Amino acid sequence: MLSTIVTVPANNGKFIVKDLLKRFVSFNFRKKFCRGTIRVSQVETMIKKMRAQQYERILKVYWAISVKNQNYKNSFGVDRYSACDIYKIVVELLKRNSKKTPCVRTVQRDIKMLNDIGLIRTKLRKFGKDNIGHGSVAHYIQNMELAPHHKQIIWEYLVAMLEEKLESKMIVGDFDEDIKNAVFDTKKYCKPLQSSSHYTNILHSNDNVASSMSRHSPPPVINKANISYSNYKNSKNSIYNSKIQKNNILTEKNNVVTRLINRDIPKDFIDKIKDLSNNEQTYVNALHNLEMALDDNKQSKLKYVLEHFLEQFTNCYRYKVWMMMKRSDGVISDYDVIWKERFTEFVQKKVALNDYVKNVLAMEARDREERSRERSKEHSKEHSGERSGEQEKMINQQSLELANNPEQYTVNWTPPKKIYEKISKSNIIKDSLGFKGIKGVTLDSLGISKKVI
């Protein structure tokens, strides 16, 4: 018995749990009388708990006994110890590993198990008359022949105890009972299966005919050159198909560009979309999305539709143009968000901006009229009234200077007030085309022609 225990390795790694579980399940055929069943997951939990708690704790108990015995030997019997000292060492070691602190009775049971295995033998000496009431000292004599193999011996003893505990129970899978009692609801599909049974029987019969081939029938001769040619011709990367695909894209692009130009879309605007697109397919898809938007927003101004489309495509959808597409197949897109929510807000801001510009221009027009009336009044006063003495002196002084130095005339001559005001106050009206949109993206700011818009 001892030799068999020593030769079995006590590997306490993770894979030992699965191996030990398979070993316990294989013992089911030997169990003749079973009182009940236990699931595989429960047995696995018992193995893990045994390895992580009981096995590790007993190893620490054996190590504490070994250390105390070594101190006793080195001190020539001066350093004695008791069971309480062993308990304190074990508790301290478990605390360092963040393990649960055991009670005194648990450690005593572990020491008793080491005695039962034969790894140690307890020798207790009590003090006092009749060995009562004056304390005691203990010494645990180690079996030095089994000391090098104490880990394997402890592990196999714990496994044997667990096997004995499971001897009267049948180990079953976690879902064996569910699989056995499974009920399938086939009421919904009974009629379709009955109606298609004839067709499925034909298919199965054809499969059987195809699969039952004679052993001695020669295989058909196949021209591999034709197969490779046909596969290459039908492949996506073949030159033939790539040329067809390019021609289809080119034709589709020319058609949509022609339709947009016929709808009075400026050629500069279409070129701007092409510059913003990263490839031809994106460019064609963007033009299709623009065409769909024009169809759905015929009542809105063409200028507003183009500016809003250009703003959304530039800022949000250059690299995901499919999100601007109007879908009817249930696929999510931003078409409704772009043209029902954002476009309505865009138009409202545009209208408010136009009203503001009109008010500003009207105020400037009224200011020009008032200034022109003031200038006309001042001009009439100058011609009807007499010149003041200072003005006459200035004129006489200028005439004398001109008579003395006629060449200085071109340098010191100042134009009359009327001409000066005319030159300095010209071009007062601001160009209304310089006003940009709310977000700065307009056809005017991009330099796109505005014919027909």
H, E, C per residue of the chain: CHHHHHHCCCCCCCHHHHHHHHHHHHHHHHCCCCCEEEEHHHHHHHHHHHHHHHHHHHHHHHHHHHHHHHHHHHCCCCCCECHHHHHHHHHHHHHHCCCCCCCHHHHHHHHHHHHHHCCEEEEEEECCHHHCCCCEEEEEEECCCCHHHHHHHHHHHHHHHHHHHCCCEEEECCCHHHHHCCCCCCCCCHHHHHHCHHHHHHHHHHHHHHHCCCCCCCCCCCCHHHHHHHHHHHCCCCHHHHHHHHHHHHHHHHHHHHHHHHCCCCHHHHHHHHHHCCCHHHHHHHHHHHHHHHHHCCCCCHHHHHHHHHHHHHHCCCCCHHHHCCCCCCCCCCHHHHHHHHHHHHHHHHHHHHHHHHHHHHHHHHHHHHHHHHHHHHHHHHHHCCCCHHHHHHHHHHHHHHHHCHHHHHHHCCCCHHHHHHHHCCCCCCCHHHCCCCCCCCCCCCCCCCCCC
Same domain, 159 and 275: no
The pLDDT of residue 435: 40
Mean confidence (pLDDT) of the chain: 74
Residue range 363-386: average pLDDT?
Answer: 79
Residue 66 maps to a domain: yes
Contact between 47 and 20 (Cβ < 8 Å): yes
Percent of residues, the chain, with pLDDT higher than 70:
65
The answer to whether residue 327 scores a pLDDT higher than 60 is yes
CATH of the domain at 109: 1.10.10.10
Same domain, 160 and 255: no
The answer to whether residue 325 scores a pLDDT higher than 90 is no
The answer to whether residue 226 scores a pLDDT higher than 60 is no
Integer angstrom CA distances of residue 52 from 13, 44, 48: 11, 12, 6
Residue range 267-296: average pLDDT?
Answer: 88
The answer to whether residue 136 scores a pLDDT higher than 50 is yes
Query: Among residues 121, 147, 178, which one ends one of the domains?
Result: 178
Residue 192 maps to a domain: no
pLDDT band with cut points at 50, 70 and 90 for residue 1: very low
The pLDDT of residue 66: 92
Residue range 268-283: average pLDDT?
Answer: 88
Same domain, 271 and 155: no
Residue 271 maps to a domain: yes
The answer to whether residue 206 scores a pLDDT higher than 80 is no
The pLDDT of residue 399: 61
The pLDDT of residue 332: 77
The answer to whether residue 104 scores a pLDDT higher than 80 is yes
Query: Among residues 137, 155, 178, which one ends one of the domains?
Result: 178
Q: pTM score > 0.75 for this model?
A: no
Greater confidence, 186 or 326? 326
Candidate from 42-46, 252-256, 277-281, 294-298 with smallest mean pLDDT: 252-256
Same domain, 257 and 173: no
The answer to whether residue 407 scores a pLDDT higher than 70 is no
Residue range 97-102: average pLDDT?
Answer: 86
Residue 252 maps to a domain: yes
The answer to whether residue 244 scores a pLDDT higher than 70 is no
Same domain, 161 and 254: no
The answer to whether residue 32 scores a pLDDT higher than 80 is no
Same domain, 261 and 171: no
The answer to whether residue 10 scores a pLDDT higher than 60 is no
Contact between 65 and 120 (Cβ < 8 Å): yes
Greater confidence, 337 or 403? 337
The answer to whether residue 59 scores a pLDDT higher than 90 is yes
Same domain, 167 and 252: no
> CA–CA separation, 72 vs 292, rounded Å?
97
The pLDDT of residue 63: 93
- Provide the residue range defining the domain that includes 438: 248-384+391-453
The pLDDT of residue 391: 58
Percent of residues, the chain, with pLDDT higher than 90:
8
Give me the number of domains the chain comprises. Answer: 2
The answer to whether residue 336 scores a pLDDT higher than 60 is yes
Residue range 293-303: average pLDDT?
Answer: 87
Residue 230 maps to a domain: no
Same domain, 78 and 160: yes
Same domain, 253 and 127: no
Residue range 183-212: average pLDDT?
Answer: 57
Residue 224 maps to a domain: no
Query: Among residues 159, 178, 197, which one ends one of the domains?
Result: 178
Strand 136-142 to 120-126 pairing: antiparallel
The pLDDT of residue 62: 93
**pLDDT tens-digit readout, 422-434:** 444 443 344 444 4
The pLDDT of residue 427: 39
> CA–CA separation, 341 vs 337, rounded Å?
5
Candidate from 105-109, 239-243, 435-439, 440-444 with smallest mean pLDDT: 435-439
The pLDDT of residue 388: 56
Same domain, 171 and 259: no
pLDDT band with cut points at 50, 70 and 90 for residue 281: confident
Greater confidence, 220 or 284? 284
Same domain, 151 and 284: no
Residue 263 maps to a domain: yes
Residue 204 maps to a domain: no
Q: Among 39, 61, 38, 42, which residue's Cα sits nearest to residue 50?
A: 42
Residue range 355-382: average pLDDT?
Answer: 84
Same domain, 143 and 269: no
Tokens 């003005």 correspond to: 391
